[in-house]
Amino acid sequence: MSVSGFHRHFKAVTNLSSLQYQKRVRLLQARTLMVANAKSVMAAVFEVGYESATQFSRDYAWVFGLPPGRDAGRILGNMKVVRGSSVGGLMEDRRFH
């Protein structure tokens, strides 16, 4: 398969270019590091291979809709709500509607 054929098939399957896909994987890995492993934003930036924290923050906000620190805080806050609530409590929490 030619390089251009590979890129065409890759985009048909993933709906992303190979570069966009790689970026998405890095951003998801960084999100996991910040949430599950309590890494700082800066630690996650460099661990996933970004050289620029500014570019990372820009890419992250584009993909997830919030800057990395706010997004990680939101996820951790939602996890606390879920852990501290009963099923009935979840149904009453407006954030889950």
Sorting pLDDT into bands at 50, 70 and 90, what band is 11? very high
Measured between alpha carbons, how far is 12 from 48 in angstroms, rounded to an integer? Answer: 26
Q: DSSP readout, 33-91?
A: HHHHS---HHHHHHHTT-S-HHHHHHHHHHHHSS-HHHHHHHHHHHHHHHHHS-HHHHH
Sorting pLDDT into bands at 50, 70 and 90, what band is 80? confident
Sorting pLDDT into bands at 50, 70 and 90, what band is 79? confident
Q: 79 phi and psi, to 5 degrees?
A: -65, -35
pLDDT of residue 76: 87
pLDDT at residue 91 is higher than 70: no
All structural domains of the chain, each given as residue ranges with its CATH number in brackets, are: 3-96 (1.10.10.60)
pLDDT at residue 47 is higher than 90: yes
Measured between alpha carbons, how far is 75 from 82 in angstroms, rounded to an integer? Answer: 11
